[in-house]
Structure 1
Amino acid sequence: MTLSGAAPSVAYRDGNVLRWVAAYTASVSGDVVFFLTLSWAVTRMAGPAQVGAVLAVGAIPRAVLMLVGGVIADRYGPRRVVIGSDLARCLIVFGAAALMQFATTRLSMLFAVALIFGVIDALFMPAVGALAGRLTDVGQLGRVQGLRILAVRLSNAVGPMIAAIVLTAAGVAAGFGLAGLLFTLSVGLLLAVRLHRIQPSVPSTASPLADLKDGLQHLRRNRQLTRLVVVVGLGDLCFSGPVGIGLVLLIAERHWAAAALGWTLSAFSIGGAVAGILLTALNRIPRAGVALACSLLATAVLVGALGQMTTTGMLIAGSAALGTTSGVASALGNALLQRKTDPYYLGRISSVTSLSTVGLTPLLYPVTGVVAAVWGTGAFFAGCAVVCLLAAAIAATKSVRGSEL
């Protein structure tokens, strides 16, 4: 329900939702620009071998503190935490730009920037996930998640191009400065966003540890919610980065031109954007639980087939189809998860899914390389297909397939 009790606006016509979408798009684009700039700076300073080490330094606190971030989002409200953490990201990134422009930069400084950014991300990610579920009436959650997928895929398509232009034309300091400007734009838009789902009437007075235990116990007690968390986690796990690396290795293994990689990744993003547009336009998604299971099954088939493609045309077409099916699965899974979660627990539940999809993803990077080196890239994609099949099987269980939006 809305705070005013009036009928909610359709999500794509709701100014509040659209401001959030614009803020989220700016924030995701800022992430893309920041990480590309950081990787470029480390490569220029110390060589490519150190890039993985710097990114790992940022990934560790993000994973370790993710559940704590969920507790903080629920205790203080997701909007407040998102704005505060986005503002903190502005400061650290503008600070990095100043260091690169005016100081003698050492590799240790970039390690410090990555570490602090990872800590802030542990607060930001659960809060931004919870915020998406508090923007409008629960009947609009499918459309909100469609808009989220559209924002993510467009940012991932456009962000690298913008970063490449700025880095080539003006250098690393300008790259960090651009990321800071995008985060600043996000903060400005978020200040105009309001929550529309009722907040808890009595704020928690328990300790943060007690709140964390309470959230995990709530998840354990609710079988349907637990299965949805597992489905979303497994369904998104392979698409937060490993598939991108797998595509790089596959194209190198086939000795195809580097341009094929750009077209393939662009096709994946375009497919996801199409999925976002379709889900946003649909008035209703009948039998959403069944649609989730079917989209995960299609994703499993496509990701397995991707590793067996023998021409670049097939690979590009398969990547576009995979982007569409995985986008549908992600949007439906997250919409159902937020539909079934009490607003009081949204931050903590969001932190669990963020941990599985973003916090643990860096652990798969070395696994990707080892599997590809020992058994071939096709084996890696087959492994991803098995993970998606497992998610589809859980989504097909009675408690999940009967879910409705």
Structure 2
Amino acid sequence: MLIIASVAVWFIKLQEKPEETENHSPWEDLKEGLQYARKNEVVISIVMMALFLNFFFSGSFSIGMPIIVKDIFQGSAVSLAIIQMSMGIGALIGAIVLASIKLKRPGVVMIGSLIVLAILYTATGFSVHLMITAGLVAIMALMTQLVNIPLITMLQQTTEKRMLGRMMSFLMTVSTGLIPVSYVATSFLIAAGIGIQTIIIVSGVNVTLLAGYNLKNKKILSFR
């Protein structure tokens, strides 16, 4: 599949652009990017949303699912594979759905999907059956696509072309940068004797509150 993708990229033709005459240091570029982000309410909202999502989801889900499968469901590696497979299937369906339709109000879809995602994630903390959890994870993966793709699209469409690279880098740095922190925080909580189901439930409630707060964000909800 990677070879096929590489061949497809090979045929992409880019227009040659004249070289830029201005030279800036990385530090100046960083400062300019931060100043631009501070003035753009949509960018700040999107980046903060991505920050909290990755912090509350990545560690508790990645560390939690194997523990739940082993200790709660008394399952095996096959059981964990079912969970992982359901996540891939849900993500694929979500991508196909978004490729097939045009969202008239992506901001509303994003916030609504985030609320559903958070509620389902909270529900996984109460689940005691493997197949029910697999179903929840599949729907969560679908909802994740309905959050992530409109989120990135909104960021790109509200950003000037000259700042697009910096804003995408800003988003990716904030998003992926908190993943190790989430892993460490989850590990410390487990080491302190807090059950993984409790951690997932609390994380889900926090994301639900975050999504509910964004229902007041008119910039995102009115985006078309």
TM-score bracket for the superposition, by shorter chain length = 0.7 to 0.9
Residues 1:219 and 2:37 are matched in the alignment: yes
Alignment partner, residue 281 of structure 1: 100
Give ranges in structure 2 of 5+ residues lacking alignment: none
Deviations 1:163-203 (A, max 9, x none): xxxxxxxxxxxxxxxxxxx6xx765543433458x979855
Alignment partner, residue 90 of structure 2: 271
Deviations 1:5-59 (A, max 9, x none): xxxxxxxxxxxxxxxxxxxx73xxxxxxxxxxxxxxxxxxxxxxxxxxxxxxxxx
Alignment partner, residue 228 of structure 1: 46
Alignment partner, residue 141 of structure 2: 323
Alignment partner, residue 377 of structure 1: 196
Q: CA deviation at 1:372?
A: 3.4
Alignment partner, residue 75 of structure 2: 257
> What is the CA–CA distance in structure 1 between the aligned matches of 2:110 and 2:17, rounded to whole Å?
29
**Alpha-carbon contact 1:240-1:357 (below 8 Å) kept:** no
Alignment partner, residue 118 of structure 2: 300
> What is the CA–CA distance in structure 1 between the aligned matches of 2:187 and 2:122, rounded to whole Å?
17
Task: State the TM-score, normalizing by the size of structure 2.
Answer: 0.87
Task: State the TM-score, normalizing by the size of structure 1.
Answer: 0.50
Give ranges in structure 1 of 5+ residues lacking alignment: 1-24, 27-181
> What is the CA–CA distance in structure 1 between the aligned matches of 2:17 and 2:44, rounded to whole Å?
23
Alignment partner, residue 61 of structure 2: 243
Counterpart secondary structure, 1:403: coil
Aligned match of 1:399 in 216, 219, 222? 219
Structure with the larger RCO, 1 or 2 (CA within 8 Å, 6+ apart): 2
Q: Which amino acid aligns with 1:375?
A: I
**Alpha-carbon contact 1:296-1:391 (below 8 Å) kept:** no
**Alpha-carbon contact 1:235-1:387 (below 8 Å) kept:** no
Deviations 1:201-260 (A, max 9, x none): 855422221111001100001112211221233334445564122111212221521122
Aligned residues: 221
Alignment partner, residue 341 of structure 1: 159
> What is the CA–CA distance in structure 1 between the aligned matches of 2:21 and 2:38, rounded to whole Å?
22
> What is the CA–CA distance in structure 1 between the aligned matches of 2:163 and 2:19, rounded to whole Å?
13
> What is the CA–CA distance in structure 1 between the aligned matches of 2:114 and 2:40, rounded to whole Å?
22
Q: CA deviation at 1:395?
A: 3.5
Counterpart secondary structure, 2:185: helix
> Structure 1 residues 316, 358: closer, same or farther in 2, change over 3 A?
same
**Alpha-carbon contact 2:54-2:182 (below 8 Å) kept:** no
**C-alpha root-mean-square deviation of aligned residues, in Å?**
2.6
Q: CA deviation at 1:358?
A: 1.6
> What is the CA–CA distance in structure 2 between the aligned matches of 1:235 and 1:372, rounded to whole Å?
20
Q: Which amino acid aligns with 2:121?
A: V
> What is the CA–CA distance in structure 1 between the aligned matches of 2:54 and 2:153, rounded to whole Å?
14
Q: CA deviation at 1:353?
A: 1.6
> What is the CA–CA distance in structure 1 between the aligned matches of 2:186 and 2:179, rounded to whole Å?
11
**Alpha-carbon contact 1:271-1:321 (below 8 Å) kept:** yes
Deviations 1:41-92 (A, max 9, x none): xxxxxxxxxxxxxxxxxxxxxxxxxxxxxxxxxxxxxxxxxxxxxxxxxxxx
